[in-house]
């Protein structure tokens, strides 16, 4: 009797956890939470995003029509394995004049200090800006999503934002992912 009660309690606990996770995922069509990013010495955002060291800005202030955000952790083995694909995606966006000024790619290291983000950036030769979220402030604003998580955001002319892509997991085939992402935009 005790074993069956404990088993049902465990099943109920696990199902409640998965329901709460589903409730916190970012929904397509909703506005992105009002996230503030701070540029560290190692972010290299000056040329790419237009902000220098020590600057703080909101994602809605990025001068692009779309922003693709990777939520990662340097300790996530899937994020580590996915780094070459994300680099390849960045390279394809930068190589295409039609996409380069319209889509910006950034990464946010949840639970990672500036030092840890720099270590990840160096080890995996990341060229796009990575931001630290050591205290999980941004992670909480995003509903505590797991990693890796990709969020596509449209920045409207009035500065408002709308989520157009929200997905847990790896990119898969980079060419296919980019094709599908572009299909969600007006960049066709």
Residue 165 sits in a domain whose CATH number is 3.40.30.10
Number of domains in the chain: 1
pTM > 0.95: yes or no: no
18 located within any domain: no
Domain that holds residue 176: 28-183
pLDDT tens-place values along the chain, 188 residues long:
555 544 444 443 433 343 333 334 689 999 999 899 988 766 655 556 666 667 788 999 999 999 999 999 999 999 999 999 999 999 999 999 999 999 999 999 999 999 999 999 999 999 999 999 999 999 999 999 999 999 999 999 999 999 999 999 999 999 999 999 999 999 97
Q: Write down the pLDDT at residue 39.
A: 83
**Could you give the C-alpha distances from 41 to 14, 55, 87, 114, in angstroms and in order?**
42, 10, 21, 9
8 located within any domain: no
**SS3 at position 71:** strand
Q: Write down the pLDDT at residue 7.
A: 42
19 located within any domain: no
16 located within any domain: no
Q: Write down the pLDDT at residue 34.
A: 87
20 located within any domain: no
139 located within any domain: yes
99 located within any domain: yes
3 located within any domain: no
CB 32 within 8 A of CB 59: yes
Q: Write down the pLDDT at residue 15.
A: 39
């Amino acid at each position: 009797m005790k074993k069956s009660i404990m088993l049902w309690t465990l099943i109920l606990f696990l199902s409640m956890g998965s329901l709460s996770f589903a409730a916190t995922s970012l929904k397509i069509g909703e506005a992105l939470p009002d996230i503030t990013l701070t540029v560290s010495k190692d972010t290299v955002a000056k040329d790419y995003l237009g902000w220098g060291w020590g600057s703080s800005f909101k994602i809605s202030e990025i001068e692009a029509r779309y922003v693709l955000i990777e939520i990662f952790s340097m300790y996530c083995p899937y994020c580590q394995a996915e780094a070459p694909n994300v680099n390849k995606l960045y390279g394809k966006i930068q190589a295409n004049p039609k996409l380069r000024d319209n889509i910006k790619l950034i990464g946010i290291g949840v639970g990672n200090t500036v030092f840890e983000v720099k270590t990840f950036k160096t080890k995996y030769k990341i060229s796009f800006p990575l931001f630290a979220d050591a205290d999980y402030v941004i992670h909480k604003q995003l509903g505590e999503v797991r990693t890796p998580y990709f969020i596509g955001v449209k920045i409207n002319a009035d500065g408002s934002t709308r989520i157009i892509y929200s997905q847990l997991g790896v990119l898969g085939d980079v060419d296919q992912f980019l094709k599908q992402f572009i299909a969600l935009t007006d960049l066709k």
